[in-house]
């Protein structure tokens, strides 16, 4: 929002301003499908942007296939799930962030490297987390290992609920690292219960958990219980830390956020909702928007739906200001493959300096 | 009411029948419902399993467990589906719906490669389930397991059974009620007859029982069957019994009325009448006992009279009781105290009458009369009488006035001193009596007392004594208040202080003589010193004059020779010799000084004499407006010899001091006493240091209404104990012979009583003492005389109270 606002104020792209047509799907598949149909049929959109969530995106994919003749493409969905990165849908989708497979795979690789081979998974019993689970399983298989244990929780579990049973199940399996794939409230509850049980095993969360919300819950309850729940907590991220002001993109992100203080579109604003000033998720959104604008700039007028795929696929070594060049190609619809690992230090996420500290 | 056996048996059979048939129906329906539902769930599960199996082959081949998960999540929402999970060809679970983990028992389940299999499993956390396993591509790709929740079946069965039981229960209840009323119609009249008979046997009053039975029995007698005949016969018997009982009751009633007549006689006399056995145990006490002891009469019964008697009287009454009870018909009376319930004592007069032998009484009859109040009244009379005698025998005048100013009391001393008999005085107004005193001043004082509502005092109130001589009274007037605080009158208490005043005057005189005597030696010494050097100087002048005279004589001779023109050397030499021996220069210097000194000495003597004269100012002249500074100065001079060896006197006079009305002689005396005291105090202080000297400071200051004289010394000061007693007569700290102990008492009397002023002390042990005298500029006695004093209206004044 901040970046698009910034571009529009600066005169737009080739003299045309970007209009945001936003609909709310409430993280449910059915409205996601309905909204997509409306965008394509009524609003005549051929460029879909800002989709969030595995269940919603995976169920929308077949629609893109349906609109094959209209050249509708999905740009940079916020999900690391596999379906949009695999045939037959990969050709209709462009991804910026690394996949869950890459995130979980990276975590598994690092844990195995330091000798933590009994890895267990704590996950939400739904499609999004199943893909994360699958990533862990496959990564372990590459090392010739099997999951040391797994435990699940139902979607909608709140922070107040006890997840001690899940902690006990994994503890019985004697695992020495846990990868947690789920929503921030349940993940925070799991961490709290594990630490309360005196179990200091490293627990790693993936980017989609909502790192800042997770941290806020843990700090709050940590303060109430006089405990440090953030020790041995690892979060993998798919964008660099927004604290790293050495990166030009971070500086621009911070400046534009300060300047425009973006809010949700007015129709979806909730009373009493105060978004955090900066977060990994919003920084990812910022990078997505920036990349989209770069691509639009590359298009020579007139803007034609049919040409967009070839334009994107011709992008080579685009510099977004994060120190890593972005390239696309006909067989490469994945922009970034980097996974960034963070730990909590002084109540904020900082990059992991050395994995060796967790060597058992 | 007790149920008849007939009724019980009928109902028991009915219940048995219902239970058996109910059970049979329930078992049959449970089996049938459960069977049908199981079949239904099995087919539902099979359909779901097959549906997943057929649609997920492709996805599984792509190894996309996320999509499989999305698919099976949808099926979970179908009613009855407890879980779904998918195994791959290795038998690993690739997607499932369990939380928090896959139960061990489901992992063990095996599917058939060629057909859908159904089995029952008991799943932890969920319960018993029907597991349907379907192979994917003949088991080559994997298997799908769908678990249908059997708890739904059992809950459906439970609901059906409950519903059935409710219906059966209702029918049973209706059946039971119907048969109950049917059987009741026969057993009830029989029960009622039985109950009536039982009650008749148990009750005291047949007629009442008959009356109660009437309502129940009469309808039965109207029946024409055997039950009706039985009821009729029974009813006749009841009526006959009831008639006999009525006659018996009437006789008893007559007897009771007579007894209550006599009882009320006893209970309404104010004396207590009680019946005791030989040991004193009460078996009756009439109600007035409650007034005496605070116990109700029924509480007194079966308690011993002796328990309530005061410990001091107990033995005596015990003896009397024993005596009386030993001899039939004997009577004795005794006075003793009883202890009330609240602990107070009541004095009673009791008479004991032995009627143990009387067959109708068989008791000691005791009559108690409470004489406490009577005794108390007697005692009060005695005390009042004693007070009367006390009042009449005191030597002070005691006059009581009531609220209207009339005399209520006039004691013997009042009769003697005022020469008016109490017969004449009582009932009169005070100012109507022929008494020679200043009635107006007294009335004024009474009025003050009434308006201030506190005692007032008249000092030295003049009156004419019986013998015609003038006398002095000291009168205190005290308001008398009732218990509610309202004024009830006045009490005048007067003492003839004539004799005492005379003695005091004499004493004061003697003190004055004492001080003059004491001063005389000092003054003699004071005068002696100047007189001595005046004498010396006059002697010197005498010699000087002789020398001068001889010089002059010789010079005359020279002069005479010179006139004749004859200047003999002899004569000149003679003159020169005389002049040399006379030392004219010396004389020229010393003679005027000697004369000066002499005159000064004479002046001092004159001053002392004048001061002495003024100090011993003849008294009894009344108050004179005086210059206090002069008076003090004189006194300092007179007392010079008393202080000059120990102290310096510093005066700090207020030049603007107005003339103050005072008794000069008395005032001088006071100042002298204070100076002498101060000198003594300083003397005590510097006893061990002959070189040291103290200081006496005397200051005067005027204010609007009074003047203040302050005599401060740097002496020993005085401890608190001495300070408090300082103005007491005869109190002295000086050794015997040095003081009479009257000095300050007189000072106090003069300043306070005669001048209406105040005298106070400020002292600090070791530092010194200050006496502070304040004299009013207006004589209070004069002021009182000036005030408008209505004469002869004390009655109206008093009436206004």
CA distance B43 to chain A (A): 26
User: Whole-angstrom Cα distance, residue A185 to residue A170?
Assistant: 19
Task: Write the Ramachandran bin of B329: left for phi over 0, alpha for psi from -120 to 50, otherwise beta.
Answer: left
Q: Is the pLDDT of residue B794 over 60?
A: no
pLDDT tens per residue, range B480-513: 887 777 888 888 888 888 888 888 778 777 777 7
State yes or no: cis peptide before B100, omega within 30 of 0: yes
List the single range of A303-312, B213-222, B432-441, B671-680 with lowest mean pLDDT: B213-222
Q: Is there a contact between B73 and A82 if contact means CB atoms under 8 Å apart? A: no
| C-alpha torsion A72→A78→A80→A85, nearest 10 | 10
> Cβ–Cβ of A150/B101 closer than 8 Å?
yes
| Chain A residues within 8 angstroms (CB to CB) of chain B | 54-55, 58-59, 81-83, 86, 125-128, 130-131, 133-134, 149-154, 163, 165-166, 169
Interface touch B70/A55, C-beta < 8 Å: yes
CB-CB under 8 Å, A126 with B65: no
Asked if the Cβ–Cβ distance from B70 to A58 is below 8 Å, we say yes
How many CA atoms lie less than 13 Å away from B368 in the CB half-sphere? 28
% of chain A with per-residue pLDDT over 70: 95
pLDDT on residue A187: 92
Lowest mean pLDDT among A340-344, B202-206, B343-347: B202-206
Q: Chain A partners of B65 at a C-beta cutoff of 8 Å?
A: 130-131, 133-134
Kindly determine whether residue A125 and residue B99, on different chains, have CB atoms separated by under 8 Å: yes
- Region B42-67 average pLDDT: 82
How many residues would you count in chain B? 801
Q: Is the peptide bond before B367 cis (omega within 30 degrees of 0)?
A: no
pLDDT at position B785: 42
Residues A83, B99: C-beta atoms closer than 8 Å: no
Residues of B within 8 A of A150 (CB-CB) are 101-102
Does an H or E element contain B708, and which?
strand B706-713
Residue numbers in B near A83 (CB within 8 A): 64, 66-67
The tens digit of pLDDT for each residue in B343-393 reads 888 888 888 888 888 887 888 888 888 888 888 888 888 988 888 888 777
pLDDT digits (tens, 9 = 90+) for A113-144: 999 999 999 999 888 888 889 889 989 999 99
Other CB atoms within a 10 A radius of the CB of residue A341 amount to 17
A with B: how many residue pairs have Cβ under 8 Å apart?
Answer: 63
pLDDT of B619: 57
Question: A170 to chain B: nearest residue by CA?
Answer: B101
Q: What confidence category does residue A270 fall into, taking pLDDT thresholds of 50, 70 and 90?
A: low
CB contact under 8 Å between A153 and B99, yes or no, is yes
Min mean pLDDT across A299-303, B322-326, B405-409 is at A299-303
Q: What is the pLDDT of residue B784?
A: 44
Confidence of residue B735 (pLDDT cuts 50, 70, 90): low
Q: Which residue has the higher pLDDT, B226 or B22?
A: B22
Which residues in A lie closer than 8 A to residue B84 (C-beta atoms)? none
B100 in contact with A, Cβ within 8 Å: yes
Mutate to test the interface with B, among A27, A100, A125 (most CBs of B within 10 A): A125
Cis peptide before B440 (omega within 30 of 0): no
| All residues at 6 or more sequence positions from A205 whose CB lies less than 8 Å from its CB, including other chains | A179, A180, A181, A187, A211, A214, A233, A234, A235, A236
Determine the distance in angstroms separating the CA of B146 from the nearest CA of chain A, rounded to an integer. Answer: 16
Residues B208 and B212: their CA atoms lie apart, in Å, by 6
Pairing of strands A203-205, A233-237: parallel
Considering only CB atoms, A83 lies closest to which of B66, B95, B98, namely B66
Q: Smallest CA–CA separation between A150 and chain B, in Å?
A: 7
CB distance A126–B73 less than 8 Å?
A: yes
Give the model's confidence band at B753: pLDDT under 50 very low, under 70 low, under 90 confident, else very high.
confident
Kindly state the average pLDDT of the residues A197-223: 89
pLDDT band at B741 (very low <50, low <70, confident <90, very high): low
Burial of B292 (0-12, 13-18, 19+ CB in 10 A): buried
Distance from CA of A8 to the nearest CA of B (A): 39
pLDDT recorded at residue A192 = 92
Across the interface, do A54 and B101 touch by the CB < 8 Å criterion? no
| Residue B492 near residue B477 (C-beta atoms within 8 A) | yes
Confidence of residue B789 (pLDDT cuts 50, 70, 90): very low
DSSP symbol at A99: P
> Does B99 lie at the interface with A, CB-CB under 8 angstroms?
yes
Dig out the tokens for B576 from the structure.
């020169």
Using a CB–CB cutoff of 8 Å, tell me whether B66 touches chain A.
yes
pLDDT for res A107: 92
Which residues touch B547 (CB under 8 Å, ≥6 apart)? B581, B582, B583, B587
Asked if the Cβ–Cβ distance from B95 to A130 is below 8 Å, we say yes
Mean pLDDT value of segment A219-229? 88
- Cα gap B715→B679, rounded to integer Å: 8
Q: Please, what is the average pLDDT of chain B?
A: 82
Selected residue of A134, A146, A162 to mutate for chain B interface (largest B Cβ count, 10 A):
A134
**Closest to B695 (Cα-Cα) out of B679, B710, B708, B717:** B679
> Using one digit for the tens of pLDDT, what is the confidence trace for B507-526?
777 777 777 777 787 788 88
Q: Which pLDDT score is estimated for B711?
A: 92
Nearest to B350 by CA among B294, B310, B397: B310
What are B137-164's pLDDT values in tens digits?
888 888 899 999 888 888 888 888 898 8
| Calpha distance B584→B578 (Å, rounded) | 10
**A333–chain B nearest CA distance, Å:** 19
Residue with more model confidence, A198 or B783: A198
Q: What value does the mean pLDDT take over residues B330-349? A: 87
Looking at residue A186, its pLDDT comes to 92
Is the CB of B70 inside 8 Å of chain A's CB atoms? yes
Chain B residues close to A166, C-beta within 8 Å: 100-101
Condensed to tens digits (0 to 9), the pLDDT of residues B163-187 reads 888 988 898 899 888 888 877 777 7
């Amino acid at each position: 929002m901040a970046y698009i606002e910034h571009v529009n104020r600066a005169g737009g792209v080739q003299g045309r301003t970007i209009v945001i047509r936003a609909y709310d799907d409430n993280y449910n598949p059915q409205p996601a499908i309905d909204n997509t149909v409306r965008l394509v049929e009524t609003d005549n959109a051929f460029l879909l942007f800002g989709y969030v969530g595995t269940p919603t995106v995976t169920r929308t994919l077949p629609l893109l296939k349906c609109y094959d003749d209209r050249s509708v493409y999905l740009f940079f969905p916020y999900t690391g799930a596999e379906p949009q990165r695999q045939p037959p849908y990969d050709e209709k989708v462009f991804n910026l962030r690394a996949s869950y497979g890459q995130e979980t795979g990276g975590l598994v690789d690092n844990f195995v490297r330091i000798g933590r081979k009994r890895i267990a998974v704590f996950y939400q019993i739904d499609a999004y987390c199943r893909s994360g689970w699958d990533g862990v399983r496959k990564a372990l298989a590459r090392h010739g290992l099997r999951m040391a244990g797994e435990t699940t929780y139902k979607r909608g579990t709140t922070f107040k609920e006890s997840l001690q049973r899940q902690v006990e199940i994994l503890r019985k399996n004697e695992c020495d690292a846990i990868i947690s794939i789920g929503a921030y409230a349940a993940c925070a509850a799991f961490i709290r219960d594990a630490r309360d049980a005196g179990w200091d095993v490293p627990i790693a969360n993936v980017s989609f958990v909502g790192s800042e919300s997770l941290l806020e819950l843990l700090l709050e309850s940590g303060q109430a219980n006089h405990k440090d729940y953030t020790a041995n907590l690892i979060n993998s991220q798919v964008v660099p830390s927004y604290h790293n002001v050495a990166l030009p993109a971070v500086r621009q992100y911070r400046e534009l956020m300060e300047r425009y203080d973006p809010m949700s579109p007015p129709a979806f604003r909730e009373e009493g909702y105060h978004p955090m000033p900066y977060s990994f998720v919003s920084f990812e959104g910022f990078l997505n928007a920036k990349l989209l604008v770069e691509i639009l700039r590359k298009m020579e007028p007139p803007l034609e739906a049919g040409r967009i795929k070839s334009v994107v696929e011709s992008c080579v070594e685009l510099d977004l200001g994060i120190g890593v060049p972005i390239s696309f190609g006909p067989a490469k619809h994945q922009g970034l493959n980097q996974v960034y690992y963070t730990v909590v230090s002084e109540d904020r996420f900082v990059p992991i300096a050395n994995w060796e500290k967790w060597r058992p | 009411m007790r149920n008849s056996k007939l009724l019980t048996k009928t109902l028991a059979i009915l219940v048995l029948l219902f239970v058996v048939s109910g059970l049979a129906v329930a078992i049959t329906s449970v089996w049938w419902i459960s069977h049908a539902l199981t079949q239904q769930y099995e087919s539902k599960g099979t359909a779901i399993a097959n549906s997943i199996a057929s649609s997920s082959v492709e996805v599984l081949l792509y190894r996309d467990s996320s999509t499989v998960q999305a698919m099976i999540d949808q099926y979970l929402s179908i009613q009855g589906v407890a879980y779904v999970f998918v195994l791959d060809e290795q038998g690993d679970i690739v997607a499932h719906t369990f939380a928090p983990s896959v139960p061990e028992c489901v992992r063990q389940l095996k599917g058939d490669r060629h057909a859908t299999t159904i089995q029952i499993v008991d799943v932890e956390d969920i319960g018993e389930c029907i597991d349907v396993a379907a192979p994917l591509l003949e088991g080559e790709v994997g298997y799908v397991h769908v678990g249908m929740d059997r708890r739904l079946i059992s809950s459906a069965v439970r609901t059906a059974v409950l519903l059935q039981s409710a219906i059966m229960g209702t029918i049973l209840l209706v059946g039971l009620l119907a048969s109950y009323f049917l059987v009741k119609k026969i057993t009830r009249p029989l029960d009622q007859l039985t109950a009536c008979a039982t009650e008749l046997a148990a009750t005291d009053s047949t007629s009442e029982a008959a009356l109660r039975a009437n309502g129940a029995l009469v309808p039965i007698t109207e029946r024409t069957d055997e039950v009706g005949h039985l009821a009729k016969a029974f009813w006749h018997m009841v009526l006959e019994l009831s008639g006999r009982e009525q006659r018996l009751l009437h006789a008893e009633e007559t007897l009771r009325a007579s007894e209550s007549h006599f009882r009320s006689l006893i209970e309404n006399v104010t004396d207590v009448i009680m019946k005791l056995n030989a040991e004193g145990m009460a078996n009756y006490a009439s109600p007035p006992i409650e007034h005496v002891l605070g116990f109700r009469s029924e509480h007194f019964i079966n308690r011993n009279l002796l328990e309530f008697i005061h410990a001091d009287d107990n033995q005596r009454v015990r003896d009397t009781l024993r005596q009386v009870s030993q001899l039939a018909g004997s009577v004795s009376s005794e006075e003793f105290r009883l202890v009330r319930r609240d602990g107070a004592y009541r004095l009673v007069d009791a008479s004991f009458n032995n009627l143990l032998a009387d067959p109708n009484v068989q008791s000691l009859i005791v009559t108690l009369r409470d004489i406490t109040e009577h005794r108390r009244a007697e005692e009060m009379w005695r005390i009042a009488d004693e007070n009367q005698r006390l009042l009449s025998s005191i030597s002070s005048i005691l006059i009581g006035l009531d609220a209207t100013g009339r005399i209520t009391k006039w004691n013997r001393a009042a009769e003697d001193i005022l020469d008016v008999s109490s017969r004449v005085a009582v009932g009169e107004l005070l100012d109507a009596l022929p008494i020679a005193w200043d009635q107006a001043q007294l009335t004024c004082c009474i009025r003050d007392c009434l308006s201030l509502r506190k005692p007032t005092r008249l000092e030295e109130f003049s009156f004419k004594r019986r013998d015609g001589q003038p006398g002095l009274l000291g009168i205190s007037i005290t308001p008398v208040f009732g218990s509610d605080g309202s004024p009830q009158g006045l009490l005048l208490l007067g003492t003839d202080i004539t004799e005492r005043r005379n003695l005091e005057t004499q004493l004061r005189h003697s003190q004055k003589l004492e001080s003059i005597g004491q001063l005389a030696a000092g003054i003699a010494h004071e005068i002696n010193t100047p007189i001595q050097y005046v004498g010396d100087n006059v002697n010197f002048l005498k010699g000087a004059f002789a020398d001068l005279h001889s010089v002059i004589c010789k010079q005359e001779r020279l002069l005479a020779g010179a006139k004749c023109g004859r200047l003999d050397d002899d004569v000149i030499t003679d003159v020169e010799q005389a002049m040399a021996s006379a030392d004219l220069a010396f004389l020229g210097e010393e003679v005027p000084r000697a004369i000066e000194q002499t005159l000064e000495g004479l002046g001092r003597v004159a001053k002392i004499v004048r001061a002495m004269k003024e100090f011993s100012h003849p008294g009894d002249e009344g108050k004179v407006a005086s210059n206090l500074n002069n008076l003090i100065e004189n006194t300092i001079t007179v007392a010079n010899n008393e202080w000059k060896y120990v102290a310096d006197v510093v005066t700090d006079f207020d030049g603007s001091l107005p003339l103050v009305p005072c008794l000069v002689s008395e005032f001088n005396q006071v100042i002298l006493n204070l100076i002498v005291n101060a000198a003594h105090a300083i003397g005590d202080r510097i006893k061990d240091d002959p070189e040291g000297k103290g200081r006496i400071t005397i200051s005067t200051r005027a204010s609007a209404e009074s003047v203040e004289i302050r005599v401060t010394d740097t002496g020993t000061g005085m401890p608190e104990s001495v300070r408090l007693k300082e103005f007491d007569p005869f109190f002295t700290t000086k050794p015997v012979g040095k003081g009479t102990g009257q000095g300050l008492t007189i000072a106090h009397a003069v300043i306070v009583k005669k001048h209406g002023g105040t005298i106070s002390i400020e002292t600090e042990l070791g530092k010194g003492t200050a006496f502070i005298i304040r004299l009013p500029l207006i004589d209070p006695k004069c002021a009182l005389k000036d005030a408008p004093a209505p004469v002869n209206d004390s009655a109206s004044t008093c009436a206004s109270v």
